[in-house]
Every structure is written in C-alpha cells, then in structure tokens.
Amino acid sequence: MILDAKIPSGRLEDKWREHKFNMKVVSPANKRKYHVIVVGTGLAGASAASTLAELGYQVSAFCYQDSPRRAHSIAAQGGINAAKNYQGDGDSTYRLFYDTIKGGDFRAREANVYRLAEVSVNIIDQAVAQGVPFARDYGGYLDNRSFGGSLVSRTFYAKGQTGQQLLLGAYSSLSRQIGAGKVKMYPRTEMLDLIVAEGKARGIITRSLVNGQMQCFYADAVVMATGGYGNVFFLSTNAIGCNVTAAFRAYKKGAFFANPCYTQIHPTCIPVSGDHQSKLTLMSESLRNDGRVWVPQAKGDKRNPKEIPEHERDYYLERKYPSYGNLAPRDIASRSAKEACDAGKGVGPGGLGVYLDFADAIKRVGKKVVSERYGNLFDMYKQITDENPYEHPMRIYPAVHYTMGGLWVDYLLQSTIPGLFVIGEANFSDHGANRLGASALMQGLADGYFVLPYTIGNYLASEKPGSFSAFKTQGESDLQKAKERTQKLLDIKGKRSPSSFHKSLGHILWNKCGMARNKTGLEQALREIPALREEFWQDLSVPGTGQEFNQQLEKAGRVADFLEFGELLVRDALTREESCGGHFREEHQMPDGEAKRDDDNFSHVAAWEYHKDKDPALHKEPLVFDAVKLATRSYK
Amino acid sequence: MKLNLHIWRQKDKNAAGQMKTYTLDGVEESMSFLEMLDLLNEQLIAAKDEPVNFDHDCREGICGACSLVINGTAHGPQEAVTTCQLHMRSFKGQSDIYIEPWRAKAFPVVKDLVVDRSAFDRIIQAGGFISVNAGGVVDANTFLISKNDADKAMDAAACIGCGACVAQCKNASAMLFVGAKVTHLASLPQGQVEKKERVLRMVKTMQDEGFGNCTNTLDCEAVCPKSIGVSHIAKLHREFLAASLTTTSNS
Amino acid sequence: MQRTFSSPIGMKAVMAVTGLAMVGFLIAHLAGNLLVFAGPEALSAYARGLRKIEGILWVMRSGLILSVFLHIASGIRLSLLNQRARPQKYAVKKRVKSTFAASYMLLSGLVILSFICFHLAHLTFRLTHPEFAALDPFDIYQMMMISFKSPVLCLFYSVSILLLMLHLNHGIASLFQSLGIWHGNINKFVQVLGAFLSFALGIGFLSIPTAIFFNLVQ
C-alpha cells in the first residue's frame, strides 16, 4: 500500500487556504443528518466535539473519566505557542513553522506543521473569547514568555495552569453543546474497539465503567482524540488512566501506527523516590527560564549543594550549548542529564537527579518575583519531596512525558481507515521526532477547533448519512468478541495484579527503549515483552466481575494492550537505525555524543500495518522538504 | 508504618455500605496517600479479596478526580492539597485512618469511595460558559483586561471541580464551586453579555441537583485544594441578587 | 422577585436583612435597659418617653415582628433543605474552619426564640409574676429587681443571653457575606465587627441580671 498523505499542491503558504476552498462542504441543512463519534475529551476531543456540534452535526462524545473536564490535557503547565508576534521580537508564522520542524529534528511533514503555525493565532483569539484568563501585563495586553527550543517569546500562559485553563475553555464549549442537546456525552465509558465495515469506520464498541455494560455506537465518522501512549513505560507524567487501547484497537482494525518510537522524555520531572512510585510529576519547563541546571564536577560528590563552590560545579547545558544554554530542547536536556548521571555525577537517591538551581535568579530578581513566576511549582515540589526549593536547589530527572508517534493520518487528519480521523496527541502528525514545549496544547486545539471540523466535511460530503445502519451485524460480532476478551481477563484467575505486569513492562521499556537505545537492548526487549505477555495471560488476577464498577478490570484491559503495543514500539526503535529527536540510538552518534541523523535512509515516516499471524509490515511515507533545508540540528 | 484503615465499602449505588477495617504494614512516609491505597489493593488482590475502588487519575493535583474524606476532612489534614498530593509523612505517629467518600445527596456513591459528580457538569452545562462558536472571533488583544482583573479571574478559574467544598460543608452546599465559575466569567469583559442569565441558570440547576445551601461556615475554603475563597460566594450572592431582581425573562 | 426569594441565596439575603434589623433593635433595646444602672427614675422616664412616640414605635414593632417571622421562616426552610442535602452522615467528621457558633445556628436560634417568648410573657405582658400588677406599669426597674433576685430566672436569662451572643457571633459577620459584602480587606473588618458587636451586646445584656442578682444595682 502506498501511503498518500494527500498534501495539497501549491506554495506552502497557500496550501491550507486553497485546500479549504477546494474541499467538499456539507450543506447546513444536511449536517444534522450526520452522526459523528468523538472519543476522548481532552483539548483535541472537546474542541472537536463542540465545534462539530456548533456546525450542526450530531455528536456523541466519550471519555473514560467521570467528567470531560478531567482529561489529562488539564495537567499541561507551561503554555501554548502562537505566532502572534505581540512582543514584536520578530516572530512569524514561518518562524514558528521553522522552529517546530527543526525542533522535531526534520521528521515532520512540512505542510502539516505550516498549517499548525498558521492557525495557532486563531487559537489564542478563540481561547480569549471563551474567557480563558491568560496572563496580562499592566497595560492589559496579553503577556508572553519564552520556552525551550525557541529564541522568541511566543508562549501564552495562565499561571502554571495553562493546560487546565484551555481545557476548561474547551470543556465549557462542550458543556454548552451538551446543555443544548447537540452533543450526547458518555463519561466513564471506554472505547474497546472500532467497528470497520466495507473498509470504512462505522462506529465503536464501548464499555461502561460504571456497570460494565458493553454496546455498539454507530456513526458516519469516528474521531479519535485518545491521547498518547506514554504509560506504556508504567512511570510517566501521564495520568494513571491514560492508555493506548483505543488507538491500538484501531491499529488492529487496519489503521497504520506511525513512528511509535518517538517518545519524549521531559527533562524537568521530580525524581523517583522509591519502588512504590505510581507516577512521575512534571514541573513546567518554564522553570528553565530562570533555573540553572548543574551537577557536581566530581563523581559521587555527596556534599550539601550549597557547600559545593562555584568552580566545582558543572553547568553542563550552559557549557555544551552556549547559545540556548538551559533552554536547549527537551530531548537534548534530558539526554544530557542522563549522561551526567551515567557518569556518576547524579545527585539524590540512587544518583538519579541533577540540580535545577534558582539561587542566582533569586539573587537577580528577588524571591518575590521568583515566587510570582513559579510559586505554585515550588509549592508542588515541596509537597512531594519535603524540600524547600527557595533554600535548596531542586532535584530533577527526565521522565516520559509525551509521545510524538501515533496513528498515521494524512493532511486531512484521516487515518488509513476512511472515516476514522485521529487528532491531538493520538496522531503522529506535527511534531516529528521531538515536540517543542508549549506545542502540544497548540496542536490539540488546532486539530479540534480549526482543522478537523473542515476536513471531516470533505469525507462526509461523499458519504450517504446513516449508511452505517447496514453494518450492524458486523458491530454485533465485534461486540461479541470484545465481550469474550473482557471475560477472558476475568477467567485467568492467576496470582499477579494488573499493576505488577504493567510495572514489569515499564521496566523493560525504560531500560531498553528509554532515553538511549541500542540494538542489543532492543532485541532483548523484543524477547522479554512476548514472554511477559505470555505470563500475563497465564497468571493475571482480576477480582470481581465484568458487570460492575471494576477498576482492576479496566486496568487489566489496558495493560493487555500495552503488552502488545510495547513490542511495536521496540520494533520501530530497532528499525530506525539513526538518532533523531527523542529517539537516540547509541550506535548512531557524533563523536561529541550528539545525535546523528541519517537523512539519506530515514527521512521518512515509519507506518506500521497490523497482520494477524505475522510481524507487522512497515510502510514508509517519504518526507519531502521544499521550504526548509535539512540541516544538522544545532543548539550550540 | 503500620496502619489500621477504616474504609467505606459499598457495592453499588443502591447497596447499603459500611466501614470495614484493614491492617496495612510496610507503609513508607514518602508514599503518597493513593500509593498507600495501591499497596493495600495489591495486598487485597494477593489475598483474593476485593480491592478498594477510588477515583484518581492525574495524581498531580490538577484533574480533580481524587476525592477522599480522610479522618473527617476532605482531602485530608493538609491545607491546599488534593488527596493525591498528600503524603504519608503527614500521618506520622497515627495508627488509625478513616477513609470515606464525599457524602452528599447530589453526589451518590458509585462504588466504595467513588462518587458520581455529574451534577457539577450539569451546573456548567446550564450556563458556565461564554456562548462563542469556533472561528470568527476578534483578535485576542481587542479586550484589554487589567492585570488585576485577569488575576482575579484566574484565581477563580483555578477550581478543579473536585467537590471537596461540597464534601466538607455541613450543608453539602455547592456554592463555592458555582461562585468560582460565576466570578471567573463575571470578572472578564467577555463574560458580561450573558452574566445575568448565567448566574440565574447555574443557581437554579444547583438547587435542582439537591445541593444544600451556604451558611457561611467557611469550611469549604478551608479544604479547597486550590484555596478558592468564600469571597467568590459573596460575589455569587451579589451577581444573583442583582440578576434576579432586575431580569424578567424566564430563563 | 419571586425567583429571588424562593432561591436559597434570596432566603439568605432575607435572613441577613432581618438579622440586621434585629441587631439594630438589640442595640436600642440594650441602650434603654442599661438605664437601670442610672436608677429607677431614669428607666421609668425612658419607658414613659417611649409611650410618647407610640405611633413610630408601632411601625418599628411591626417591622421587628415581621423580621422575626421572616428570619425564622427562612432559617427553618433553609435548614430543612440543608438536612436533605446529606442523607448519609460521615462516620468521622471534623470542623476545619467553621466555628462552634456556625455549626449550631439553628439550635441557638430556636432556644433564643423560646427565650423571646418567655421574655415577652415576663416583662411585656407580665404574665409570669402576679406581683407586677401592684406596681406602676412604668416601674420596669422594680420588676427587674424582683425578677433577677431569683437565681433560676437570672440563670435562665444569662444562659439565653450567652446563646444569643453565640448566635450573633456567627450571625453578624455572616449577614455581610450573605449580602455579598465579603471582599479583600472588608472581610477582616466584618469579622472583627461581628466579634466585637456580639461580645458587646452579650456583655451588655448579661450585666443587667447579674448585677441585680449580686446586688450591684441600688
């Protein structure tokens, strides 16, 4: 199968505008005849569901949380980028586009990224109109800050809770449509399968988490906004419930999965405190605006950091990347921290941490200003570690945070299954091999408010509304299979809890497919994961029944999919014989330890196709760069 | 640490529940409260017993899912944190911990410690928004908003919808939740157009959902993990009184 | 209007306004009664003086009676709604910021109501002490002297006044909150005002029966 990204022809600047004009449009009177399912109600899902309803479509929205307001977009702290150039520092659509392409290590599609930069400005307008309380300066104008991987101030923020405010904005829009009866909302409901008939997406199978009832929902198109798969590593900054199930089931139904090995490890997380740890907490990257990262120069230096004199400290980011310094992109900052710790210079328990020091900032601008900027983050740090960051430098360590990979989509955000659209973190489209800070919120909302609502019309315009009703037998048979699978989990009656398997899987992936990967490790992982999966299906213990609220059963289903998906991730990492962005292969590095990309052989999207009884098949979508020149990414 | 945990167990919405006691050893001070419950559940699963169900998701204090009344206080003994951010070091020297769900007619128990808070969603659906469709809005800097107003709106908007205010209030009142949303939107120029209808509809839904009423005891602000103050309830009072006395429409 | 007063916020506003009226009455009532310390003539003169403005007095009395009625009616209605809002009680429940006074407003209110009934029967309608009939109707002084020498009556008044103090302690600050006056620095002032007024009124009223009981009034 040849992957057709359906990138419109024409100049980069004109593609989206012209394409919007050229697309087919559903007339206002016909829109209400179409039924669209939206799975997931984070930034992408909530904004898409509300916008589709505003346009007149009938929408059903699903989320596993008890309320759409709790989707994990809510946890994004730092901000959202937009090429508004309000600060007059030379920002432009092109610069945001270029920064994103470069930040992604030249592994993203030019046309998608340009469109993202273009609509970024509309997002800010939209959010402000909804009442999102972005930070303002004393004149009443919107304030901006700078963020990792960028040399201009283009990040809009609402204290340290930008994700929360944007999500609540989208949630309020969605709530308005629910209140108006235009969106039917199904909270505490999870998607267990995609119904595909005659090659098109026709609906989904769901399970109510409250009473276990499983049923089919049919629609003229399905939109998946189901987030990333970072929890495959067990410990990540994702919410406990984040999972790959919906995306993986769609993959098994024929949607290609692209670039699963592109995982982002965020540099500023609170280090692990013990074996009981259930999740990692991220602290906004904005901390790196004022905090200085360092480790002691001597190995195993256990002195109190305040007793370590300046000349015995290694401010390694400032040393290695003088122009960006502490603001180097995430992948670079993370890998540098790992290098320092691998060299025995790490601090804190287990030597898995580096300092992020605010002493200079406090000296420069005063404690009050530092507290205004980061007070809530400092409080959170203190709450978790019992250490006061005003007095004692923070300890940070990288943690899995975001996944750039996802279901393959074309320019129209449609997967390889017609009628299945994938938006937000769940797709692979815009960040290449590494995402810049403050771009996730941008992409989620761009997809949901300003891209999908147009592109889905193009598909629906050539579909007869309600044609899904011809495929209900297919749905019933899928439903039966989903029921059997759920029952199978309950029937194992072994000894180990779902969490314990999840933890074991996480260990394998973090150690062998984490911040740095090599062939030997990956090949080991490819043996260990299937063995663990085997054990899972032999020795899992899920108490209770399937006809009730059963959190262990939910977890078991998700872990089962992670156990299969993890293998795909490792396979992709093994196949990509280069280092780029979040994917670092130890065999492919420069003499100074920097990532060594291989544009001749790997300037493509790796899209995986599921096969039932054999290994997945790799399809390549070549990446063509017309507007930018491929260059070695340098932040020195 | 070794603990006696007294936990509310309830099979489903309609079943009668009761407190059950479990003994848990090996609790470390650096564990979060929910990690302590994870440990208990691992132990229960190993013993082929029913694990305890409780709501939780982000575990970083922002999604608002976690919702436990611990020793009689919503989100436990520490000020301005959610249950998920509470650590066992706060329980040094204690051997008995009582864990109950939010209790309110408007928040029926789903199972064990899990409650149904969809009443909050319905309040927002009734009017907790600005009616604006995607696209076709003015440039973001068209509204100049003083830093003071923007900050005020942000403080109110910080609500995570956890429901601790309801859980702690002796009357199970939702006025802090409603007040925070009303204040957020009424503090901004964008929110002025609909402000009267908004407050009237939200208050009506709040009543219809069966929440109690504020008697100014201040317990809500004391347990709010985001430190949202009762001045927002005062603002709600002003907005509601002004709107209800000056509007004639039947919204 | 109907929407305002059928809603809990409207009912709270009613409680606040009527509460404020009653606090006003209490201040005036206390000021008059403290004349007991100035001797029998002063108190009788005050009582006679009041009689001269009977017309205005009746207007104020009607306002007061209406306030009492509305205050009680709204209070009970709100309480009933509040009871219903939590059918299943907590096994363990702590007060965090709320005071003892705030937690028992209904109870203190109901006790005060029964006190008021007695108080009216006692000193307004004079049904409790037949010996009052022999006195000059304006000789309030003598009536008080007779009454508060009795330890039972003195104790009953004192306890009731203490409960009133408790009720006001929460009520005065709370009425500002109910009327939407609770903001920034104002709430500190309101809380201090509430504490001060309730304390001052309480001590003031308490001083009368106790002083008489302990023979401190000649």
Contact A144, A24 (CB under 8 A): no
What is the domain-level CATH number for residue C16?
Answer: 1.20.1300.10
- Domain presence at residue C136: yes
Residues sharing a CB contact under 8 Å with residue A339, sequence separation 6 or more, in sequence order:
A316, A593
**Is C180 within 8 Å of B235 when comparing Cβ atoms?**
yes
Site from A87, A213, A378, A383 to mutate, B interface, most B CB atoms within 10 angstroms: A383
> What confidence score (pLDDT) does residue B251 get?
45
Are C177 and B230 inside 8 Å of each other by CB? Answer: yes
Measured between beta carbons, the chain C residues lying within 8 angstroms of B19 are: 91
Return the amino acid letter for A598. D
Question: Phi first, then psi: what are they for B52, rounded to 5°?
Answer: -85, 130
Write C44-47 long-range contacts (CB < 8 A, 24+): C44/C136, C44/C138, C44/C139, C44/C140, C44/C141, C47/C138, C47/C140
Q: Which CATH architecture has domain B3-111?
A: Roll (3.10)
Residues of B in contact with C170 (CB under 8 A): 216
**Percentage of chain B surpassing pLDDT 90?**
97
Taking alpha carbons only, the member of A259, A516, A172 closest to residue B185 is A172
Nearest CB partner across the interface for B121, out of A71, A175, A552: A175
**C74 in reach of chain B (CB within 8 A):** no
Q: Give the distance from residue A563's alpha carbon to the nearest chain B alpha carbon, in angstroms.
A: 20
Choose among B217, B223, B234: nearest Cβ to C182: B234
Q: Which amino acid is at A341?
A: C
Chains that touch B (3 or more CB pairs under 8 A): A, C
Q: B74 — phi, psi (to 5°)?
A: -65, 130
Q: Residue A267: which H helix or E strand, with range?
A: strand A263-269
Say if the Cβ atoms of C94 and B72 lie within 8 Å: yes
Q: For A122-140, give one letter per residue: b (16+ CB within 10 A) or e.
A: bbbbbbbbbbbbbbbeeeb
Longest dimension (CA), chain A: 75
Tell whether C87 lies on the interface with B, counting CB pairs under 8 A.
yes
**Neighbour subunits, A (≥3 Cβ pairs < 8 A):** B
Of B6, B71, B241, the CB nearest to C9: B241
Q: What angle do CA A507, A508, A513 make, to 5 degrees?
A: 110
Contact B103 C89 (CB under 8 A): yes
* Contact B171/C at CB under 8 A: yes
Give B129-146 as a DSSP string: S----SS-PPPGGGS---
The stretches in chain C having pLDDT less than 50 are none
Between positions 99 and 128 of B, the ones with CB within 8 A of C are 100, 103-106
Total number of domains in chain C: 1
| 8 Å CB contact of A172 and B128 | yes
B53 contacts in A (CB within 8 Å)? Answer: 549-551
- How far is Cα A315 from Cα A310, in angstroms, rounded to an integer? 9
C128 touches chain B (CB under 8 A): no
DSSP readout, A607-622?
EEE--SSSPPEEEEEE
Residues of C in contact with B103 (CB under 8 A): 86, 88-90
Domain holding C191, by residue range, is 2-87+98-213
Query: Across chain B, which distance is largest between two alpha carbons, in Å?
Result: 63
* Among the partner residues A131, A165, A541, nearest to B188 by beta-carbon distance: A131
Tell me, yes or no, whether chains A and B touch by having 3 or more C-beta pairs under 8 A.
yes
Contact C140, C123 (CB under 8 A): yes
Residue A140 to residue B144, Cβ atoms within 8 A: yes
Place of tokens 């580096």: A354
Work out how many CB contacts closer than 8 A connect B with C: 135
Structure tokens at C160: 């009731």
Nearest CA in chain B to C181: B234
Residues B213 and B237: their CA atoms lie apart, in Å, by: 12
**Is A356:A363 a contact under the CB 8 Å cutoff?**
no
Which of A74, A541, A548 faces B62 most closely, judged by CB atoms?
A74
Residue B96, strand partner residues: B4
Helix, strand, or coil (residue A184) = strand
Question: Are the C-beta atoms of B127 and B202 separated by less than 8 Å?
Answer: yes
| Residue numbers in chain A where pLDDT is lower than 70 | 149
- In chain B, the residue whose alpha carbon lies closest to the alpha carbon of A540 is B45
Taking contacts as CB-CB distances below 8 angstroms, the residues of chain A near B31 are 274, 276
- From chain B, the residues in CB contact with C105 under 8 A are 215
Give A193's strand partners: A205
* B118-246 CATH pick, 3.40.250.10, 1.10.620.20, 1.10.1060.10, 1.10.510.10: 1.10.1060.10
Report CB contact under 8 Å: A130, B190.
yes
Give the pairing type, strands A604-609 and A257-258. antiparallel
Q: Does B250 score more than 70 pLDDT?
A: no
Is B214 in Cβ contact with C8 (below 8 Å)? Answer: yes
Chain B residues near residue C101 by CB distance under 8 angstroms: none
Active-site positions of A read 330
Is B200 close to C3, i.e. CB distance below 8 A?
Answer: yes
Asked if chain A contacts chain C via 3 or more Cβ pairs within 8 Å, the reply is: no
Instruction: Classify residue A18 by burial, with Cβ atoms within 10 Å: 0-12, 13-18, 19+.
Output: middle
Give the domains, in start order, of chain A with CATH numbers.
Answer: 267-400 (3.90.700.10), 479-612 (1.20.58.100)
Cα distance between residue C38 and residue A151, in whole Å? 82
How far is the C-alpha of C193 from the C-alpha of C174, rounded, in Å? 11
Contact at CB, B72 and C88, closer than 8 angstroms:
no
The reply to whether C188 touches chain B by the CB within 8 Å rule is no
pLDDT of residue B249: 57
The residue in chain A having the minimum alpha-carbon distance to the alpha carbon of residue B127 is A176
Domain boundaries, chain B: 3-111, 118-246
Spatial separation of the C-alpha atoms in residues A461 and A465, rounded to whole Å: 9
Taking an 8 Å cut-off on Cβ atoms, the answer to whether B60 and A380 are in contact is yes
Q: Which of A165, A241, A384 sits opposite B57 (nearest CB)?
A: A241
pLDDT at A593: 82
- Across the interface, whether the CB atoms of B134 and A386 are under 8 A apart is answered no
Residue whose C-alpha is closest to residue A346's, from A391, A297, A415? A297
Interface contact B221, partner C, CB < 8 A: yes
